[in-house]
Every structure is written in C-alpha cells, then in structure tokens.
Structure 1
Amino acid sequence: MAVVYTLLVLFLAVFLAGFALLIMGAIHFDFSNSEVPPGVNQPVKLRVLHIILISRAVVGKILENIGICSQISFVRYLQGGKPLGVDPELFIKDTWFEEVPVRIYQPKVPSDSQRRGIMFFHGGGFVFGNLETYEKLCRSIARESQSLVVSVGYRLAPEHKYPAAHEDCLNATIHFMKNIQHYGVDPDNVIVCGDSAGGNLAAAVSQTLAGRSDLPKLRAQILLYPGLQALDFNLPSYQQNRRVPLLSRERAACFGLLYLNGDALHLKEVLEGSHIPIDIKLNYRKWVSPDNIPERFKVRGYKPHVLLDCTAAVSESVKRFCEPNLCPLLAEDAVIQQLPESFILTCEYDVLRDDGLLYKKRLEDNGVRVTWYHLEDGFHGIFNTFNSDWLSFSAGKRGLDIIVNFLKSL
C-alpha cells in the first residue's frame, strides 16, 4: 500500500510540475510573440485567454507527436464545451438541411406576424468552430431579436478544402428558403450572418444568390469582422495588428491556405506578397489597396509595401484566391450592385479590419446601403468568448446589442 501511495504522490508531483512548465511556457510565448495594445478592451483578460489557447495548442502538439491524435482534433474537442441545457425561451432542434447539420433556435413566444430568419455561419478560420462553440451567441441573437436562427455546421478544413464550406452554407440557405413556410419565417426577411470566416461565407453566399429569380431576395447580410481577400496581407491593419491576439497575421494567412489547399506550404510567399502575379494585383488594386483605407486608420503606423512578383508554381497553387466565392471582395460590380442591405462590424485591433473597411467602400460605391459599426477597443474573435461567462468581454456585448438593434430595424 505504501508503494502505491508513493507512486501516486510521484505521479501527482510530475503532473503538477509538467502543468507548471506548460503554463510558464505559454506565458513566456504570449509575452514574447504577441502584443496587446493599450487601447484593447480588458487587456489582462485577453492575455489570460490567449495563454489558455496557447496551452491547448501545445498539449495538442504533444499528443500529435506521440501519435494519440492530431493537434487540430484535440483543439476542436476542447471547443465543444459543456452543454447549456434547455432554454426556457427557445425551442432548439438539431436537424439536417440536405446533408448539412444545422441547429435551429426558435423563440417560444408567439409572434403576431412571421418572424425574420437568420442563417448563421460560425467563424474559426475554416478550420475550427462548430455548433457548440457558438451556442450561447446564437441563443442570445434568437432571444434578444425574437428571430429564428439556423446555425450551420459546415465542413471544416484541412480535411475538406475549398469550396466545401461555401457549398454547405449555400445549400443549407437554399434549402431553408425553399422550405421557409415550415418555420413561420417571412420569406422577405431572411438574413445571412457570420463572423470572421463565417463573415466570408455569408458574403459569398449573398453574392451567389444575388440575381436569382427562383428564390426570395435576401433582406440583409451581417458581416462581423469578416475576412474577404487573400491578395494583400500587408494592408495597414495586417501590419499594425500582426501580433495581436486572437488572430495574428501569420495565422490568418495560414487558415486561408489550409482552406484553399489543405496545407500551408506557401505561407512565406503569401505573407510577403509574392503569391499573386503583379498584373493581377494591379488589376484588383482598384478594390484592394491601402489607398482606399481612410487615413485615420493608418496613424498607428503603416509602411507601403513593395509589389513583388511570383513564380509560376506558387501562382498556380494559389490562383483560386482570386475567385469571389473564396475572396468576396473581388466580385464584379454587377454582382455587388445586387447585394442586400448590409451591416459590417470591424474591430480596431484586428488584422481583418481593413477587409471590412474595403468591402464597406465597395458596397457604398455601388449603391448598397451599409450600416457600419466599429469597436474602437475590440479585437478579432471577441464574439468567440460568449460561451464563457468569466472570459466574455464588455465590447462583445456592446457589439451584440448593436447587431440586435439592426435586426429589429429590418
């Protein structure tokens, strides 16, 4: 018995020592490789959240190296969280639209008229995120706006490359619109909504449906700090916020490549801008250019980037970055002009800030009504924290209130 007790004590000591080393290593990595600007909302809490995420990634890498599971699978498993249980104000149902898993949130309070319907596409860089990750956010949107919300569990990269996620979100939306009478939703009040990669998918779905006469026209699109292009990772926001959690410039480019090709082999070229031929860059410069970013967003420091050409091999590998279904900012004016009323939310301390600003300008230049809200103290991923009460951020709640008010105005 004494031997067993001694072994247990030794095991516990080794475990605690390993845990302490993990946390100290994560803290060191956070302070050495990331930057939390003074204007960020609740900076200490953001550091704590980032350290937790780093620790998860490290453990996942260890498990991958010893052959237990992949790092991505481990992080996805931890993202699930504990079930929230029954909601007294909502009917919640898991089902399938075609072959796509969805979760429907329907207010229990009877409505005098048909409700608005919201197709929600979660973020996570096309690699992470699931129905559980955004459970609390979707419940909040459904309850506070008294809308029916359909959360879409689209396929993830790198297992499922582009255009899998787009196809899933598009097919789920079309299925919903074709069967809308079953859900008590006004066919003239359907909205697509998403954050980050989900914002990309919402924009792409909206463009794909533009001009279709066999379906009701979308009422609006809500794009929350969306990633909308992969031509230029040296725009002002990518330079200014390259080390700001929760999305670094390098990770943004890596996620794009994982979705496109299932690997990140040409990450270096993408970051330095030598992945797209110069003639193609110049062709799209009317839409993707720092010249289209208001000067007030350049005051934190910005150095114009020299245009670099690329090799044929790299260009061939990433040529689909120029497809609007992957990079909606590159759609032609004829498509943009048909888009519905739009809401765009950007965060000051976000590498994707300028994607949203450039799209805002494109929409407005083409006569599309845009409501824009900028979180001056916000950072990328601020809505990802809704499932955790103690790691949620006041700026995120403020942003949610603005979104709900926009929905109620439709």
Structure 2
Amino acid sequence: MLHPQAKALLDLIEQRGVPATHTLSVTDARTFYRERRGFTQPDPVEVAEVRNLQAEGPHGAIPLRLYKPLGGDMDRGLLPVLVYFHGGGWVIGDLDTHDSLCRQLANASKCAIVSVDYRLGPEHRFPAAVDDSIAATRWIHKEAPKLGLDASRLAVGGDSAGGNLAAVVAIALRDAGDVPIAFQLLIYPATDMRRGAPSHTTNGQGYLLTSDTITYFHDHYIDDATHDLDWRASPLLHPDLTNLPPSIVLTAGYDPLRDEGLMYSQRLSESGNRATHICFERQIHGFITMGRVIDEANAAVELCASQTARYLSR
C-alpha cells in the first residue's frame, strides 16, 4: 500500500495542478525542479565545511562541491569520501537540488561527500554525463590528499540517473584498474534504457515519475536507439558484473524503476559480489530527498549513511 504521506503529496500535486515535467521546456523543467525543493526537502543542515571545486574532464571543466561532516575525524587523518551523482534524468538537477541530501549524508556517515555537476542533455548527449562522472571520480582520487580525503576509501553513489552513473563508473574503473572503488550506493537506479521491466507498466502513471516523463528524459539524453544497448547507458546489460565493489541498491515500491533496480542487485549477487537490495515498499520515486513531508525519507538517508560508513571504515 502507498504510504499515506506519499499519497498526500501526490494528492496535493494534483489539486494544485502542478505541471508534469514532460510538459515543460528543458529550461522551465530545470528551474521548477530547483525551486520546488523548498517544499519537500528538509532545511540544509550545518556541516563542517563546504567548498566548491572544479575537475578537468574530456569536455572541459566539471563543477564539484565538497562537504565535510560535523564531528568527522578530520584531525586524526584523511576522511573517507563518497562521490555523489545527482538525479534528474540526465536532463535536470544540479549541485543545489541535492545540497540538502549531501549535507545529511555527510553528517550522518561522518564521511566527506563530493557532489558532481556533470553535463546534462540535450545540450550534451550520452555519453557526456558518463565521461564527466568518470573523469570527476579520477580527479577526486588523484587530488584526495590535498583535499583531506582518503583515496583508499572512496565510494560512488547517486539517485535515479545518478545511480545509473555511479553503477557505470564502478564498472568502468574496475575495467581500467586505476581507481579502486570501495562501495557503491545505488538509490533507485536506472539500469536498463530499454524500459521494459514490468514496473514500468504497473507504476507508469500516477506516482510522480511517469512513463511520459521517463521518455522525455530518455529522448533528451539518448539520441540514437542503439545506445540503449550500450552498457554505459544500461549497466544491467554489461556481460560481466564480477569483481565489483559491495553495493546497497535501494528501491521504492511505487517506482517505475523498481524492477530494474532489483534485477541489477540480483545480477550483482549472482556475479559473486556483496549486494544488498532494500525496497521501501510504500514509497515513490524520488522520495529520499523529500524528508520535509515523508518521514521514511529520513530513515532512508540514515540507512544509506550507515552503510556508507560501514563499507568505508578502516
């Protein structure tokens, strides 16, 4: 059953006539996503340090934002770090839309968080976001000591499109062998661009993220249908998922992406990896950033933070 708080939010959205993302221009969709966060997201919590940085990548500069936690063990050594990729369908979202979440994760995990402002479609089509995400993670690993970070305790994570990018980065860096990843945090990740899993039908309308909006995001990111079969777009389709870092895959019961998250976690387990799948059965896509109006969002943040801390502990 749908959580009453999630249902109340959906009812309010309908009553107020809030426009669906797929009905907006890209510019308006980005502005709306950024501005509406104040309604559903908790107030930003204080952290020990916030610093804007810039990595270099194959397509140019990549903005980053570093968060260091209150109460972190900074005086005793370098902080473990989670490289975080925001959600938004590879089309919307930025450092500000996920600022509150990154602050929460930093304080709750006692780890540093580096949020990555990767390039978005349609201005920058696939695989630009992938290229930026890999380059940013390599840069953070290289510059870690200068930033007070422990390169040997580096994780990747993200929500939705960001979960997709985190999974892809973990595979790419495993294959390259130059940057060890200790953990991957995949929050309702998109893993299969073919969009054929049953939950795309059962949850495709009425639960905030709709099939129409998924198509809108897909078509602004992917401009060639053959790219749906590229593992850098659909990590579920990679033929070899062995020797990947431990993972937590979090899904939501009323999410169109639910089943592909479950299938990805199952393939990770079958391939011999440590993979834990956790489904918040009563929740909708995007709920983890909605802690102002959905209590289970805050529980999910605490869960993600505790697992990140566990896998990045010495």
TM-score scaled by structure 1?
A: 0.68
Shift of 1:176: 0.4
Alignment of 1:109-124 (within 5 A): 109=71, 111=73, 112-124=76-88
User: How far apart, in 2, do the equivalents of 1:230 and 1:110 lie?
Assistant: 38
2:207 is matched with 245
Any conservation in 1 of the 2:70–2:107 contact (CA below 8 Å)?
no
Where structure 2 has 5 or more consecutive residues not aligned to the other structure, the ranges are: none
Any conservation in 2 of the 1:377–1:395 contact (CA below 8 Å)?
no
Superposed CA offset, 1:93-144 (max 9, x none): 1121111011110125451343210100000111111111111000000111
Indicate yes or no: 2:272 matched with 1:371.
no
User: How far apart, in 1, do the equivalents of 2:124 and 2:244 lie?
Assistant: 28
Q: Which moved more, 1:204-213 or 1:360-369?
A: 204-213
Higher relative contact order (CA 8 A, sep 6+): 2
Shift of 1:52: 5.5
Give the alignment partner of residue 225 of structure 1, picking from 184, 188, 198.
188
Shift of 1:401: 1.5
Q: Secondary structure at the match of 1:362?
A: helix
Shift of 1:88: 4.1
Q: 1:252–1:53: structure 2 CA closer, same or farther, 3 Å change rule?
A: farther
Give the alignment partner of residue 207 of structure 1, picking from 171, 178, 200.
171
Superposed CA offset, 1:249-306 (max 9, x none): 2322331222011xxxxxxxxxxxxxxxxxxxxxxxxxxxxxxxxxxxxxxxxxxxxx
2:106 is matched with 142
Shift of 1:39: 2.2
1:395 is matched with 296
User: How far apart, in 2, do the equivalents of 1:52 and 1:224 lie?
Assistant: 28
Shift of 1:85: 9.8
Shift of 1:212: 2.9
Pairwise CA RMSD: 2.3
Any conservation in 1 of the 2:80–2:149 contact (CA below 8 Å)?
yes
User: How far apart, in 2, do the equivalents of 1:132 and 1:52 lie?
Assistant: 25
Q: Secondary structure at the match of 2:231?
A: coil
What letter is aligned with 2:219? L
Any conservation in 2 of the 1:41–1:393 contact (CA below 8 Å)?
no
User: How far apart, in 1, do the equivalents of 2:77 and 2:263 lie?
Assistant: 37
Where structure 1 has 5 or more consecutive residues not aligned to the other structure, the ranges are: 1-37, 62-70, 262-316
Indicate yes or no: 2:218 matched with 1:256.
yes
Superposed CA offset, 1:8-64 (max 9, x none): xxxxxxxxxxxxxxxxxxxxxxxxxxxxxx423411123224565834869x85xxx
Give the alignment partner of residue 75 of structure 1, picking from 20, 29, 52.
29
User: How far apart, in 2, do the equivalents of 1:86 and 1:354 lie?
Assistant: 32
What letter is aligned with 2:188? Y
Q: 1:383–1:159: structure 2 CA closer, same or farther, 3 Å change rule?
A: same
Indicate yes or no: 2:239 matched with 1:332.
yes
Any conservation in 1 of the 2:47–2:67 contact (CA below 8 Å)?
no
Larger radius of gyration: 1
1:344 is matched with 249
Q: 1:50–1:116: structure 2 CA closer, same or farther, 3 Å change rule?
A: farther
Any conservation in 1 of the 2:3–2:283 contact (CA below 8 Å)?
yes
Q: Secondary structure at the match of 1:190?
A: strand
User: How far apart, in 1, do the equivalents of 2:17 and 2:155 lie?
Assistant: 32
User: How far apart, in 2, do the equivalents of 1:171 and 1:57 lie?
Assistant: 29
Any conservation in 1 of the 2:84–2:157 contact (CA below 8 Å)?
yes
Q: 1:348–1:57: structure 2 CA closer, same or farther, 3 Å change rule?
A: closer
User: How far apart, in 2, do the equivalents of 1:206 and 1:50 lie?
Assistant: 38
Shift of 1:322: 0.7
TM-score scaled by structure 2?
A: 0.88
User: How far apart, in 1, do the equivalents of 2:170 and 2:30 lie?
Assistant: 28
Q: Secondary structure at the match of 2:139?
A: helix
Indicate yes or no: 2:90 matched with 1:90.
no
Any conservation in 2 of the 1:41–1:378 contact (CA below 8 Å)?
no
User: How far apart, in 1, do the equivalents of 2:72 and 2:302 lie?
Assistant: 23
User: How far apart, in 2, do the equivalents of 1:399 and 1:54 lie?
Assistant: 26
What letter is aligned with 1:408? A
Shift of 1:78: 3.4
What letter is aligned with 1:407? T
What letter is aligned with 1:260? I
User: How far apart, in 1, do the equivalents of 2:45 and 2:294 lie?
Assistant: 22
Q: 1:165–1:50: structure 2 CA closer, same or farther, 3 Å change rule?
A: farther
User: How far apart, in 1, do the equivalents of 2:301 and 2:78 lie?
Assistant: 23
What letter is aligned with 1:177? H
2:12 is matched with 48
Q: 1:408–1:324: structure 2 CA closer, same or farther, 3 Å change rule?
A: same
User: How far apart, in 1, do the equivalents of 2:48 and 2:122 lie?
Assistant: 34
User: How far apart, in 2, do the equivalents of 1:254 and 1:245 lie?
Assistant: 16
User: How far apart, in 2, do the equivalents of 1:332 and 1:114 lie?
Assistant: 36
Indicate yes or no: 2:307 matched with 1:406.
yes
Any conservation in 2 of the 1:123–1:197 contact (CA below 8 Å)?
yes
What letter is aligned with 1:102? L
Q: 1:52–1:255: structure 2 CA closer, same or farther, 3 Å change rule?
A: farther
1:66 is matched with none
Give the paired residue count: 300
User: How far apart, in 2, do the equivalents of 1:96 and 1:237 lie?
Assistant: 38
